[in-house]
């Protein structure tokens, strides 16, 4: 009996730990915890747009963030990162970049970094295109 | 063979008691300097000028010929291309991975503008089934009606239809925004995983059937809700976003967004509770 | 009598019998004879080959009329032969024909039930069920539109089909809207097809076309 008790205790603690996430408005609404560290449905706050992103949107001829609306800062192996769909991998945020403590600002940084990565000659797609591009 | 299940690979998630996947296969690590990439140029794309304009009559061309010709014009630096007489041809304008201003003076058949990444397209006519399928980025505006499977599996970008659309709009969509000025048919937002759909008019039966995530905004009447689609509260940030998005889409100028209904996934069929972002990358 | 091809004949006959069933049964009692269609104003032409070949064989471009339906079949449910080709005649009603895109999943159940009621099937193609189903409903006194509306629940599977009768043209789409249809309607012309490119070949100018929604039935009187 005593053994069982000691075994079940840590499990409970873990559950408590999971439940201590700050509940977002959407989580309250659907009554469930969202496993993502960010809400995929979070709409961008255009007041927080960075100068680089403004220039990017202008260069592409769009009126707003377009596909970047779906880009958020997440976590990979405990480090802040943004997912690059072109490379199918995570771009980790350099430690030199200080991250603000709200998701909207973090998302803008993630977007900026992702665009820069995709346009960098070091992007994995560059090698792939060089090797396989047909037309 | 290397044992990939080494204990050092324990992630934060594992420490928290969450389930993690073990990735097999080759992985690469790339380093880059964010400051050296401010040239707004994607490798392998053409440097086009929006002010350089040309016309292209595709009446007597096959879809493959027309698409090759568009590619050729982009390589010459044309940034605005007007396509004349598309006459309902299938698969026109597919696979454009470039910034471009493309205007179709007429209607498209099936799979128009499929697998595009970046262009701004205006179609002064109707589009057939599966328009802008797999759109990655960019903006596609349809002035008239659209067929079924409008914006199937899109991952990003804005897809706008000023008229009405058929069934299964935004089926399997994984991002982006679909805006419909008129009515939508049955199974709108079927199996959607992410992204947003805005319908100003009425919508048919089984709205948001089996949706995993994402948001649907409806201005008119709803035929019926699909499995796991539930009502949600329209917030202030939703309304601001809707107003801004409708302005970008050039429709519903005087539309009262505060009366729109918001539909989200009830997450009874699927929830991300025990999943880490690494595992969800397929959905991104 | 006109012999069009070695295997097909067009007869013009006068008959005063009201019940076509008896009349057609008498003709088909001759061994090796099958009626593809019978009517006062509608003619069903079935053959193998593409649209151009069949058109040339039967001089279809010379035919003058008010309405026509056509179908190029990609056989999935039954063999490639003339009897399984569309349009299907709504035996034994004069001037009822159907073309269909889709698959019907309750074909055998419906076929058995309809055969028990004395209806006849000429092929094993699931599309024929629609023609026979509507013919049976009309035999019971329903109008074409009523019969078509009933078919939405009576037939299971995915379908978009057209019906042409002597003086009307109709379309129906299943409740899942799984099969395509593009429709153009004006005061003096109705054009519809699976693909817009077909409509554009006769109406190259810019016109407003649309997709009918799920479970929609439309009948036009000519």
d(CA C1, CA A39): 76
Q: Report the chain C residue with the minimal C-alpha distance to residue B59.
A: C204
Query: Which residues does A47 contact at the CB level (< 8 Å), separation at least 6?
Result: none
The ranges of chain B with pLDDT < 50 are 1-10, 12-14, 16-21, 277, 279, 281-284
The answer on pLDDT for A38 being more than 80 is: no
The answer on pLDDT for C33 being more than 90 is: no
d(CA C55, CA C61): 7
Segment C51-69 shows an average pLDDT of 91
One domain, residues A106 and A127: yes
One domain, residues A28 and A49: no
Using the Cβ of C220 and the Cβ atoms of chain B, whether some distance falls under 8 Å is answered with no
CATH architecture of C2-221: 4-Layer Sandwich (3.60)
> Which of B28, B34, B266 minimises the CB distance to A113?
B34
Segment C9-21 shows an average pLDDT of 78
One domain, residues A91 and A66: yes
Segment A114-129 shows an average pLDDT of 89
Q: Which two tokens stand for residue B262?
A: 């918001």
d(CA C34, CA C37): 9
Mean pLDDT in chain C?
89
One domain, residues A68 and A98: yes
Using the Cβ of B25 and the Cβ atoms of chain A, whether some distance falls under 8 Å is answered with no
Going from N- to C-terminal start, the domains of chain C cover 2-221
Instruction: Identify the pLDDT of residue C95.
Output: 83
CATH (residue range B43-253) = 2.160.20.60
Do residues B267 and A69 touch, judged by C-beta distance below 8 A?
A: no
Chain C residues with CB-CB distance to B107 below 8 A = 196, 200, 206, 209
One domain, residues A97 and A113: yes
How many other CB atoms sit within 10 Å of the CB of residue B233?
11
Using the Cβ of B129 and the Cβ atoms of chain C, whether some distance falls under 8 Å is answered with yes
DSSP string, B191-244: T--EEEEEESS-B-SSBTTT--S-EEEESS-BS-B-TTEEEE---HHHHHHHHH
* Preceding omega of B91 cis (within 30 degrees of 0): no
What is the number of structural domains in chain A? 2
d(CA C182, CA C198): 9
Q: Please report how many Cα atoms fall inside a 13 Å half-sphere around the Cα of residue A17, on the Cβ side.
A: 13
Do residues C36 and C47 touch, judged by C-beta distance below 8 A?
A: no
Q: Which two tokens stand for residue A132?
A: 């396989």
Alpha-carbon separation of residue B119 from B26, B51, B88 (angstroms): 33, 15, 20
Instruction: Identify the pLDDT of residue B273.
Output: 54
One domain, residues A22 and A51: no
- Greater confidence, B7 or C32? C32
Q: Which two tokens stand for residue C138?
A: 């009309």
Do residues B201 and B184 touch, judged by C-beta distance below 8 A?
A: yes
Q: Cβ B109–C197 below 8 Å, yes or no? A: yes
What percent of chain C clears pLDDT 70, i.e. is strictly above it?
A: 99
One domain, residues A70 and A111: yes
Which domain range does residue A20 map to? 1-35
Residue B142's SS3 state is strand
Residue C191's SS3 state is strand
- Angle of the C107-116 helix axis to the C128-139 helix axis, nearest 10: 40
How many other CB atoms sit within 10 Å of the CB of residue A122?
13
The answer on pLDDT for A56 being more than 60 is: yes
Least confident of A72-76, A83-87, B27-31, B89-93: B27-31
**What is the count of residue pairs from A and B with beta carbons less than 8 Å apart?**
157
């Amino acid at each position: 009996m005593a053994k069982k008790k000691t075994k079940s205790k840590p499990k409970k603690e873990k559950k408590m730990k999971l439940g201590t996430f700050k509940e977002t408005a959407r989580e309250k609404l659907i009554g469930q915890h969202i496993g993502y560290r960010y809400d995929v449905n979070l709409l961008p706050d255009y007041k927080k747009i960075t100068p680089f992103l403004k220039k990017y949107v202008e260069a592409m001829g769009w009126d707003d963030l377009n596909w970047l609306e779906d880009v958020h800062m997440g976590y990979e192996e405990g480090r802040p990162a943004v997912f690059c769909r072109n490379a199918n991998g995570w771009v980790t945020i350099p430690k030199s970049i200080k991250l603000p403590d709200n998701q909207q600002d973090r998302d803008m940084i993630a977007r900026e970094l992702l665009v820069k990565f995709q346009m960098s000659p070091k992007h994995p797609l560059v090698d792939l295109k060089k090797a396989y591009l047909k037309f | 063979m290397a044992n990939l299940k080494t204990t050092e690979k324990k992630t934060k998630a594992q420490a928290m008691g969450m389930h993690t996947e073990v990735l097999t296969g080759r992985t690469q690590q790339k380093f880059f300097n964010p400051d050296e990439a401010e040239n707004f140029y994607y490798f392998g794309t053409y440097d086009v000028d929006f002010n350089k304009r040309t016309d292209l009559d595709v009446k007597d061309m096959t879809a493959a010929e027309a698409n090759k010709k568009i590619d050729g014009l982009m390589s010459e630096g044309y940034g605005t291309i007007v396509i004349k007489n598309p006459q309902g041809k299938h698969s026109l304008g597919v696979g454009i991975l470039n910034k471009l201003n493309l205007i179709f003076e007429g209607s498209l058949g099936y799979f128009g503008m499929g697998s595009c990444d970046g262009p701004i397209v205006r179609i002064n006519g109707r589009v057939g089934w599966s328009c802008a399928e797999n759109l990655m980025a960019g903006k596609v505006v349809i002035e008239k009606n659209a067929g079924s499977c409008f914006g199937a599996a899109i991952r990003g970008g804005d897809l706008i239809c000023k008229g009405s659309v058929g069934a299964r709009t935004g089926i399997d969509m994984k991002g982006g925004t679909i805006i419909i000025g008129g009515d939508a048919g049955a199974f709108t937002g079927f199996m959607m995983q992410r992204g947003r759909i805005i319908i100003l008019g009425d919508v048919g039966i089984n709205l948001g059937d089996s949706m995993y995530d994402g948001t649907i905004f409806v201005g008119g009447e709803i035929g019926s809700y699909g499995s796991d689609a539930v009502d949600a509260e329209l917030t202030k940030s939703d309304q601001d976003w809707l107003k801004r998005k409708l302005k970008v889409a050039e429709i519903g100028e005087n539309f009262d967004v505060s009366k729109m209904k918001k539909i989200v996934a009830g997450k009874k069929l699927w929830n991300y509770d025990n999943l880490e972002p690494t595992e969800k990358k397929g959905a991104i | 009598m006109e012999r069009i091809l070695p295997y097909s004949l067009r007869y013009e006959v006068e008959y005063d019998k009201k019940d076509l069933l008896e009349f057609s049964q008498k003709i088909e009692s001759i061994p090796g004879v099958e009626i593809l269609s019978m009517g006062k104003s509608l003619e069903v032409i079935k053959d193998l080959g593409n649209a151009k070949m069949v058109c040339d064989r039967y001089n279809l471009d010379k035919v003058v009329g008010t309405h026509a339906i056509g179908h190029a079949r990609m056989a999935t449910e039954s063999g490639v032969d003339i009897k399984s080709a569309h349009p299907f005649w709504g035996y034994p009603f004069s001037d009822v024909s159907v073309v269909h895109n889709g698959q019907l999943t309750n074909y055998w159940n419906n076929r058995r039930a309809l055969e028990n009621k004395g209806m006849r099937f000429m092929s094993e193609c699931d599309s024929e069920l629609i023609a026979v189903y509507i013919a049976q409903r009309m035999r019971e006194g329903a109008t074409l539109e009523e019969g078509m509306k009933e078919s939405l629940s009576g037939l299971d599977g995915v379908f978009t089909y057209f019906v042409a009768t002597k003086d009307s043209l109709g379309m129906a789409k299943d409740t899942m809207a799984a099969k395509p249809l593009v429709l153009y309607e004006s005061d003096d012309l109705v054009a519809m097809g699976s693909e817009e490119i077909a409509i554009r070949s006769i109406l190259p100018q810019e016109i407003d076309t649309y997709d009918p929604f799920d479970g929609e039935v439309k009948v036009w009187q000519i």
